[in-house]
Structure 1
């Protein structure tokens, strides 16, 4: 393998040489990502989003479960919900208690078939908890378990030949998931009388 100028190649891997990105490359792809997010977000169903937000307003604890990059987005959403004063737990953390009736499980899976996420939803359903889900697939097992469902019309991460997105492996789903959860947080906050300064008092101080 021939290294590009200024690039070190690890001979123990099969990684291809990557040419440096130019300014025009970056600008072109900023437009690509922006336009795909804008077009996909415009297709979100506001009733579905409002329905999910209503479940967050019903009280009870909120549990968050997701894998990979979708799970990271939901962790960001969990922080914002905590800032609103909700009691939020991340599935898998050692201090996360058992989910029970009256609680809400918030989950996301582009395919709706991610085994750990579906298993969490099945466990929550058996415990009598409500389930709020984001997915691309309305016919998936996860969608079938959901009490509140938001469909994000993005390509699934294994749909490499999709005409929906030119981005790689589920990126569009994760980007619009972030946008959707931020919009839900902002809408819930708008319906409180708490200033930002009060929300900030709940922010972690043991960082």
Structure 2
């Protein structure tokens, strides 16, 4: 298959590329590096990306960020970080990709365990992850031409503990290589509308 991985230079993205590249033609897309670049918050940029890479059999998104901070200090501007980037950025990818996938292609997005297991200072991330899970379940019943859509919901990565570990005390971290298996299952399997939870 011809697979575009958006966020290919990130921790999860690199693991997904490693997992899929042994069997498929993987196109690595990043925000500022990779074979191609895209700003997922700008739908025109997303449209240009697909104009460049052409038809594909699958897209995988491991891109997007959210805001972490105390509820008492949240502002609409801070809340927009996750809504604009991780939520709408990935929705932009799905909306455009549906028209550029081959028949029976697939879309795989990324949410996270905070949708169901919130942590202190993670309100923005919990909201965004829950919304993404809902988008995928709803989109799955409307996509045409046999196109599938799933989402991977990982807990904190072992490789990311230095950055995010203080938000996840008591939570068992998982390696990116294990999380990458769920993306393989989504791309190379047959399910749709699934939330693959990799929490422990």
Greater gyration radius: 1
> TM-score scaled to structure 2, two decimals?
0.28
* Higher strand fraction (1 or 2): 2
